[in-house]
Structure 1
Amino acid sequence: MVQVLSITGYKPFELGIFSANHPAIQYIKMALKKEILYFVEDGLEWILISGQLGVELWAAEVVFELQNDYPNLKLAILTPFINQEEKWNDNNKEIYEMVLARADFVDSISKQSYQNPQAFRNKNKIFLHKSDGLLIIYDELNIGSPKYMLEEARSYKESNSYEIRTIDFNDLQTIMEDEQWNL
């Protein structure tokens, strides 16, 4: 049973999304909601994200929506280092601050600002040890930053009980087609 689910995936620019109103975001959120509900029905208690732009913050918004019907579902944000948002634009900072304010738990793994890529490797390892499963939006044909977490999770799963659920572009395409068919 997955009680703590880590969620990650692409950053917006990796998907060609440069606007908070991009239509693809609603389909990504639908896919996330469907998978999160699957886990909630099986006893999920916590969603764990690092607060990165894109899939992770969209997942947080889905959690906030689901908390209306599932008030026991909690959101934890463990950033890899402090001030991860310091170079983001004002709009992204505002969204990030709103998500942090509504989260049930917020902390930073490193109490320093970004030093080097080791911060992300440390974050991946901690997330694997703090969660029972990973939900990742990633497509093997579109290499991007989530690749590293997926590789770590697959390696971790070899010697641990750990569930990995992937949402790929075919899954998103199916959701989009189903929605358009239902219009």
Structure 2
Amino acid sequence: MKVCVVTGYKAQELGIFDQKHNGIQYIKKTVEKKLRQLLDEGLEWVLISGQLGVEIWTGEVVAELKKEFPQLRLGVMTPFLQQEKNWSETNQEQYRYVLGLADFVDSISKREYESPAQLRIKNQYLIEKSDGLVILYDEWKEGSPNYYLEPALKRYDRDGYPILYITPDDINSTIQEEMEEF
């Protein structure tokens, strides 16, 4: 897998409303572990849409990994222009920071938000342009990851598209490993 999309829940779906929340470090560490496995298998690009939560945290993880793996690239493909327009100043700053870390930034729709169809098109586009999906997902918790999972499962049925899950159990394992180190 040379190009993978990484996605998951938005911060508020996880009950995270502050960038100092302890859970973020464990999510980022778990994403890092998954990306390290893929790097060993030839990963070159990580694609995100810049969604707040798992995607933005993934952008930060990729920036750190690039120090060790200079061949790794981050692409941010937003669904539409100025997706951050109505976000808080803090969220806009974090978003702009990650855009600044990216090797490639573009908007799939060259217009501002008009309809939910732009989000559906973005999900479909990223699934079609990638070699696999890494998704933070809990089968017992509905949420925004479902919108990526639907086209990914269709592509899986069509051509075996890899879908790699990060589950709550994976995050709990990371927490356990971190606790044992102290």
Q: CA separation in 1, counterparts of 2:3 and 2:128? A: 10
Contact 1:3–1:46, Cα closer than 8 Å, also in 2 = yes
Match of 2:55 in 1: 56
Q: Deviations over 1:130-176 (max 9, x none)?
A: 10000000101111111121122011111123111011111111211
Matching residue's letter, 1:18:
F
Structure 2 equivalent of residue 182 of structure 1: 181
Q: What RMSD in Å do the two structures reach over aligned CA positions?
A: 0.8
Matched residue of 2:165: which SS? strand
Alignment of 1:129-148 (within 5 A): 129-148=128-147
Quick one: distance in 1 between partners of 2:7 and 2:74? 13
Aligned positions of 1:1-183 closer than 5 A: 2-183=1-182
The one-letter code of the counterpart of 1:175 is T
Q: In structure 2, how many angstroms separate the alpha carbons of the residues matched to 1:177 and 1:144?
A: 26
Aligned residues: 182
Q: Contact (CA 8 Å) 1:46, 1:75: kept in 2 or not? A: yes
Determine the C-alpha separation between the residues in 2 that align with 1:161 and 1:105: 27
Distance in 2 (alpha carbons) for counterparts of 1:142 and 1:173: 16
CA distance in 1, matches of 2:160, 2:130: 11
Deviations 1:53-95 (A, max 9, x none): 0000000000000000100000000000000000100001001
Deviations 1:27-62 (A, max 9, x none): 000110000000111100000000000000000000
Runs of 4+, deviation exceeding 6 Å: none
CA contact (8 A) 1:132 1:161 kept: no
More helix per residue: 2
| Structure 1: runs of 5+ lacking an equivalent | none
The alignment's TM-score, normalised by the length of structure 1, stands at 0.97
- 2: CA distance, partners of 1:61 / 1:144: 22
- Quote the Cα distance in structure 1 between the aligned partners of 2:55 and 2:140: 20
Matched residues in 1 for 2:175 and 2:153: separation? 28
* Identity among equivalent pairs (%): 47
SS at match of 2:120: helix
Contact 1:76–1:103 under 8 Å retained in 2: yes
Amino acid at match of 1:147: N
AA partner of residue 127 (structure 1): L
